[in-house]
Amino acid sequence: MTFTRSWELKMLNARKTGLVFMESFIKVIAVFSLKKGLGSLRLTQKASLYASHQHLLGILGTKGRIVKYYDVIIVGAGIIGLASARSLKSKQPNLKILVCEKESEAGQHASGRNSGVLHAGFYYSPESMKAQFCRDGNIQLREFIRSRGIALVETGKVVVTKSEQEEKRLEALYERGITNGVKLELLPANQLEKFEPLARTTNTFLWSPTTAVSDPKSVTRALVEDLVSHGVEFNFSTTITEAQKGRAFLNGEIIRYGHLLNAAGSQADRIAHQFGVGMQYTMLPFIGLYRYVEKTRFPLRTLVYPVPHPLNPFLGVHFTVTHDGLVKIGPTAIPIVGREQYKLLSNPKFGDVKSTIRAAISLITGTKHNVRQIVASEFPKYSSRFLVRESSKLVPAAQAIKGWGVKPPGIRSQLVNLKTGELVQDFLIEKGEKSTHILNAVSPGWTSAFAFGGHVADQALLDL
């Protein structure tokens, strides 16, 4: 037994020594051939040889250690990260892609906690990326949902006014939607009953036939299944650190990559800062709460929204019909300290406290937003009675409904520009060394994901 064990140890050490020697030998040959061969090659051949050499050195780690190499690492398994991976695979099927997610499964934050509304795309400035990708994203997401047999409820949406003063803003919203290529109708109040008998408006209302609702969690699961079947790898419960210059540590293991795509949602600014990207930005989280009742008790047909406030980045308290037979009112948009603080009284992380204070000071000292007005209008909505009273301005019958339940909250981490003291309203992408960083992809991020993910993929492919 002693002789056998000794022989096995010797063979194991011999294998290790041989492996290290083989790796060192390959490195020497690669470097030698690179230096000797470049002189007589054309520029395109030199570039190809250099890329192959870099790929080889990416496979071989420091101190003779073999490490994994991926063409693209995607940080974040939310809807944007998954849609970007899908687009990358469709454009270049042979790409080796790894999706890293710090949670135990995909879509655990904003992507799985949103209301599942497929927005039409009429809220957003025509020159914005939101306008560019929301309408097309609606079409593409709708096609995916239908192809996978996921629930899709064609509710449509009405936007109603609460006063004469809102009528001009409603007309401007209609004109913006037409400019964005969205199918919309501006109709007189006497026709509202045909679309939603329970709603009320002043003189006119908007009808959006392409607004719909679905199930975000089912969409996320279907996307993961599709990606796995096409060879995309997933690594859950994973932390990624020191990600720069084509190398990262994944739970302590060295990983080399051709390009890193940062789709980390509320943590995206922190990943970007490792690359020296987006240093003027940080996140300010807002917690969104919804109240709900069964649709059998409150038979609303469509989604009912108010005319949005021109300076507030949120859409206001509204009614949503869900895919599983509920009617919701909300959400709140209450500033909160923690980026993943789903309970108001839970203890946030110290890093969140620090960044939130910086963001809040920037907003308060800036001139872009009336912070006092936003806070004064949002905090009372934490009260169910206030929320119902506010929503009854759109649908008076809500006042008679008792026993509203509380849905699990979501958090919208809003990007703040510390230099200008403003909430970033549009999607925001910034490039770094071997990296693309999605710093802001809030609503309508879920609706826009497939179209926006195609754009993100194109940005990443520029470096590959």
Please, which pLDDT band fits residue 172 given cuts at 50, 70 and 90? very high
pTM across the whole model: 0.85
Contact by Cβ (8 Å): 293, 401: yes
User: In this structure, are strands 97-100 and 68-75 parallel, antiparallel, or unpaired?
Assistant: parallel
Average the pLDDT over 9-30 and give the result: 41
Q: How far apart are CA 207 and CA 161, in angstroms?
A: 12
Summarize the confidence of residues 62-84 as an average pLDDT: 85
Q: What whole-number distance in Å separates Cα of residue 251 and Cα of residue 235? A: 10
pLDDT of residue 379: 85
Does residue 286 have a pLDDT over 60? yes
Query: Does 455 or 35 have the greater pLDDT score?
Result: 455
Q: Are 66 and 60 in contact (CB under 8 A)?
A: yes
- pLDDT computed for residue 395 by the predictor: 98
The pLDDT of residue 29 is above 50:
no
* Secondary structure of the chain in HEC code, one letter for each residue: CHHHHHHHHHHHHHHHHHHHHHHHHHHHHHHHHHHHHHHHCCHHHHHHHHHHHHHHHHHECHHHCECEEEEEEEECCCHHHHHHHHHHHHHCCCCCEEEECCCCCCCCCHHHHCCCEECCCCCCCCCCHHHHHHHHHHHHHHHHHHHCCCCEECCCEEEECCCCHHHHHHHHHHHHHHHCCCCCEEEEHHHHHHHCCCCCCCCEEEEECCCEEECHHHHHHHHHHHHHHCCCEEECCCCEEEEECCEEEECCEEEEEEEEEECCHHHHHHHHHHCCCCCCEEEEEEEECCEEEECCCCCCCCEEEECCCCCCCCCCCEEEECCCCEEEEECCCEECCCCCCCCCCCCCCHHHHHHHHHHHHHHHHCCCCCHHHHHHHHHHHHCHHHHHHHHCCCCHHHHHCCCCEECCCEEEEEEEECCCCEECCCCEEEEECCEEEEEECCCCHHHHHHHHHHHHHHHHHCCC
The per-residue pLDDT for 380 is: 86
pLDDT of residue 156: 98
Separation between Cα atoms, residue 100 and residue 263, nearest integer Å? 10
311 confidence band (pLDDT: 50, 70, 90): low
pLDDT > 80? residue 20: no
Q: Which of residues 30 and 366 earns the better pLDDT score?
A: 366
Q: Edge-to-edge, what's the strand order for the sheet holding 410-417?
A: 334-335, 281-288, 410-417, 422-423
Question: What b-and-e string marks burial along 257-280, b requiring 16 or more CB atoms within 10 Å of the CB?
Answer: bbbbbbbbbbbbbbbbebbebbee
Place of tokens 């629930």: 151
Structure tokens at 106: 């995909």
Cα–chain center distance at 86: 14
Cis? peptide before 331, omega within 30° of 0 = yes
pLDDT over 60 (residue 22): no
20-34, 75-89, 107-121, 380-394: segment of lowest average pLDDT = 20-34
Average pLDDT (135-139) is 98
pLDDT at 14 over 50: no
d(CA 19, CA 192): 75
The confidence score (pLDDT) of residue 314 equals 79
pLDDT value of position 375: 80
Q: Which of 95-104, 138-147, 371-380 has the lowest mean pLDDT?
A: 371-380
